[in-house]
Amino acid sequence: MARIHVLGAGTPTPTPDRFGSSYVVDVAGEQIMVDCGPAATYKMVKAGLWPTNIDYLFFTHHHFDHDVDYPCFLLCRWDQSIGKENDLQVFGPDLTERITHRILDENEGAFAHDWIARVNFPVSQQVYVNRGGVLPRKPPHVLAKDIGPGRVYSAADWEVSAAPAEHVQPYLDSLAYRIDSSEGSVVFTGDTQPCQSVVNLARDADLMLCMCWDNQEEMESNGESPFQCGTAGAAQMAQDAGVKRLALVHIGPHLAGQGPMEKGIGEIKKIYDGDVIFSDELMHLDL
Ligand SMILES: [Zn+2]
């Protein structure tokens, strides 16, 4: 049975309960991360997961609430390794390769000083050997790839497809993802306004994790409704796609309050027939 861990269920606004986006899908014995927002590595460990067990990472887009923990995850995954792990494979829209290079590259990477020191300093070498590593320690090696819509990755037991999402183009490209396996199907909308390409991607999926910034009325009145989903937008996409369950994620600080949340669930139930989950960080959802 596939399991989805919700690591980050919030937005760029830090709150004690929610901050940024990040998820891990546990399917067919493999772990796939989607987005790497604030403190994703720390939350992952709180959820009982471990960086070196994650071999795949998919970015929906490169806003900081979806990628700012990427340097931390890369360095932590490398630091905890003993040199026998699989190379991490990273996929995402334009900038994914460039950002990876700018973090780790020996000459141009903003964090290269860290791994160069750990590779060469004797006590760091000893910690590595004590963990089970064999010297000489290899530098981090990550397979990053810029991708567009379509089938983007096929493993033996699961595959990932991407569709265009509509968010802050032309500044940043955005993708929604669907993971299919014999254990079920799950869709991550990423940040998007309601759009047909994401509805088509999500058709009949078992679960859709959809961004939900705020109550729709609130967003219509304060000018925040374009290029993102509120309660009615998320509900309409779920209904149009015929998904079995809708999990609201990327929940804004206003909607996260008790009153607006109850109102929001009412707004969604008027439009969408399936089950609705208001997700909390560190919860998991089984397919
Ligand atoms: Zn976002």
DSSP single-letter state for residue 16: S
Radius of gyration from C-alpha coordinates of the chain: 19
Give the Cβ contact number of residue 116 at 10 Å: 13
For 58-127, give the DSSP string: E-S---HHHHTTHHHHHHHHHHT--S-SPPEEEEESTTHHHHHHHHH-TTT-TTHHHHHHHHH-HHHHHH
Question: Ligand 1 is a single-atom ion; what residues have CB below 5 A from it?
Answer: 63, 65, 191
Ligand 1 centroid to 191 CA: how many Å?
6
Measured between alpha carbons, how far is 27 from 181 in angstroms, rounded to an integer? Answer: 8
* Interval between CA 245 and ligand 1 midpoint (Å): 21
Is cis: bond before 136, omega within 30 of 0?
yes
pTM: 0.97
Q: Quote the pLDDT of residue 183.
A: 96
- Residue 255, C-beta contacts closer than 8 angstroms, at least 6 positions apart: 212, 213, 214, 215, 231, 261, 264
Residue type, 185: S
Of 70, 269, 195, which Cα lies nearest the Cα of 211? 195
Q: What is the DSSP letter of 53?
A: G
pLDDT of residue 192: 96
Q: Ligand 1 centre and the CA of 70: distance in Å? A: 15
CA of 91 to the centre of ligand 1 (A): 17
Q: How many CB atoms lie within 10 A of CB 222?
A: 10
Give residue 15's pLDDT. Answer: 96
CA of 84 to the centre of ligand 1 (A): 34
Residue 115 Cα to ligand 1 midpoint, Å, equals 30
CA distance 64 to 70: 10
Q: For residue 6, how far is its CA from the centre of ligand 1 (angstroms)?
A: 15
Distance 167 CA to ligand 1 centre (A): 9
| Helix ranges (DSSP H) in 138-195 | none
Dist. CA 123 → ligand 1 center (Å): 40
Per-position pLDDT tens, the chain of length 287? 899 999 999 999 999 999 999 999 999 999 999 999 999 999 999 999 999 999 999 999 999 999 999 999 999 999 999 989 999 999 999 999 999 999 999 999 999 999 999 999 999 999 999 999 999 999 999 999 999 999 999 999 999 999 999 999 999 999 999 999 999 999 999 999 999 999 999 999 999 999 999 998 888 899 888 899 999 999 999 999 999 999 999 999 999 998 999 999 999 999 999 999 999 999 999 99
Q: How far is Cα 117 from Cα 106, in angstroms, rounded to an integer? A: 11
pLDDT on residue 167: 92
Q: What is the pLDDT of residue 89?
A: 98
User: Residue 205 has what pLDDT?
Assistant: 98
Q: What is the pLDDT of residue 283?
A: 97
* CA–centroid distance, residue 61 to ligand 1 (Å): 8
Task: Pick left, alpha or beta for residue 262 (phi over 0 → left; psi -120 to 50 → alpha; otherwise beta).
Answer: alpha
Tell me the β-bridge partners of 33: 24, 57
Instruction: Using the mean position of ligand 1's atoms as its centre, give its distance from the Cα of residue 206 in Å.
Output: 23
Q: How far is the CA of 34 from the centre of ligand 1 (A)?
A: 13
Residue 243 Cα to ligand 1 midpoint, Å, equals 22
SS (H, E, C) 200-214: HHCCCCCEEEEEECC
| Cα of 69 from ligand 1 centre, angstroms | 14
pLDDT at 240: 98
pLDDT confidence of residue 47: 97
